[in-house]
Amino acid sequence: MTTKALLQDAIRERTLLGDGAMGTQLMLAGLEQGNCGEEWNLVHPERVLAIQRCYVEAGSDCLITNTFGGSRIMLNRHGNADQVLAINKAGVAIAREAFGEKRGYVLGDIGPFGGLLAPFGDFTEEQVRDAFDEQAAALVDGGADAIIVETQTSLEELQIGIEAAKKAGAPCIIGSMAYDVTLDGSTFRTMMGVDPERAAEFMEEHGAHIVALNCGTGMEMERALEAVKRYKNVTGLPVMVQPNAGKPRLVNMKILYDESPEQMVKGVVPLLDAGANIIGACCGSTPDHIRAFRAAMDEYCESRRSIGQGVMRES
């Protein structure tokens, strides 16, 4: 059996397909708003597994673990601080099981700690560092192929996450920022005022292997394309994108996103042309969105092969 390539090497050979939203899928599976979805890794692992299997069946090459709020600080809000190791290791094991015989990549998820660092907030850098160190170690010990430090808005918290992943010995580290489109629509930056160029440079400086974006306000396919181009203007690192499935709407007291798979998939080829290395989706996306992405990516690759073969025959 051949050894699987490191994620950062594999994506330089071909573009990989990520997965879609987890939170909205958990709610469809019965998770009540405000409850701890990460706890389901222990109490309802079969439901988490079913969601991730749907993404694998749709064509995902990469799965993000159900550990977005898996740090001690986040879990403590639900009375689960003593379950950090178990929840994170189970998250990796479930994603691995979802792949079955497929040689996919499991990305261990570290989301924001959910507050502000002192002096603006109540948490010290040491508290956040300890929480991220503990979570990253659990994910790597569980066998994650990479750590993704995602939905970040400040460089300070991002750095703590990247350093935790390095300390844990993560084979690959992904930094992923959440951007908001400005009111005038002219650009986008994080809630803490970080623009994509600065974020990409910072991630490269601090040892990330892949620069990424996910979530945010107004960060749909067109803005994701712009972010890829802006990242690539300042770094040679591979790029991962996870745009939202349109804009959220409140319908019958439920949040729904307004971009169908047929609408969202129109942005896949431009992302491929721009050089995106991993393409997935974020809030509101479903296995149907990912299935449409897979078809578009396969058709794109086939057309490129046909063009290449035609050029070879002509020469």
Per-residue pLDDT tens over the stretch 89-106 = 999 999 999 999 999 999
Residue 130: CATH number of its domain: 3.20.20.330
Q: What is the pLDDT of residue 1?
A: 47
Which helix or strand (DSSP H or E) is residue 174 part of?
A: strand 173-181
Beta bridge partners of 213: 177, 241
pTM of the model as a whole: 0.95
Q: What is the pLDDT of residue 116?
A: 86
* Cα angle 199-36-178, degrees, rounded to a multiple of 5: 15
Confidence of residue 309 (pLDDT cuts 50, 70, 90): low
Task: Flag whether pLDDT at 310 surpasses 70.
Answer: no
Q: How far apart are CA 162 and CA 194, in angstroms?
A: 17
In a domain, 188, yes or no: yes
Q: What is the pLDDT of residue 3?
A: 82
pLDDT (mean) for 177-187:
96
Task: Flag whether pLDDT at 311 surpasses 50.
Answer: no
Three-class SS of residue 186?
coil
Domain assignment of residue 42, given as a range: 7-314
Task: Flag whether pLDDT at 307 surpasses 60.
Answer: yes
In a domain, 1, yes or no: no
Question: Which candidate, 200, 266, 268, 273, places its Cα nearest to that of 238?
Answer: 200
In a domain, 161, yes or no: yes
Question: pLDDT (tens digit, 9 = 90+) per residue, 69-128?
Answer: 999 999 999 999 999 999 999 999 999 999 999 999 999 999 999 998 888 888 999 999
Give how far the C-alpha of residue 106 lies from the chain's centroid of Cα atoms, to the nearest Å: 11
Task: Flag whether pLDDT at 313 surpasses 70.
Answer: no
In a domain, 231, yes or no: yes
Q: What is the pLDDT of residue 255?
A: 74
Question: pLDDT (tens digit, 9 = 90+) per residue, 16-42?
Answer: 999 999 999 999 999 998 999 999 999
Contact 62, 17 (CB under 8 A): yes
Domains of the chain: total: 1
In a domain, 269, yes or no: yes
Q: What is the pLDDT of residue 308?
A: 62
pLDDT (mean) for 297-314:
74
In a domain, 154, yes or no: yes
**What count of residues does the chain have?**
315
Range 72-84 burial, b when 16+ CB lie within 10 A, else e: bbbbeeeebeebb
Which of 241-245, 257-261, 262-266 is the least confident region?
Answer: 257-261
Output 306 or 216, whichever has higher pLDDT.
216
In a domain, 274, yes or no: yes
Q: What is the pLDDT of residue 315?
A: 46
Output 304 or 159, whichever has higher pLDDT.
159
In a domain, 234, yes or no: yes
Q: How far apart are CA 18 and CA 60, in angstroms?
A: 5
> CA distances (Å), 116 to each of 65, 122, 125, 173, 211, in order?
24, 7, 10, 23, 23
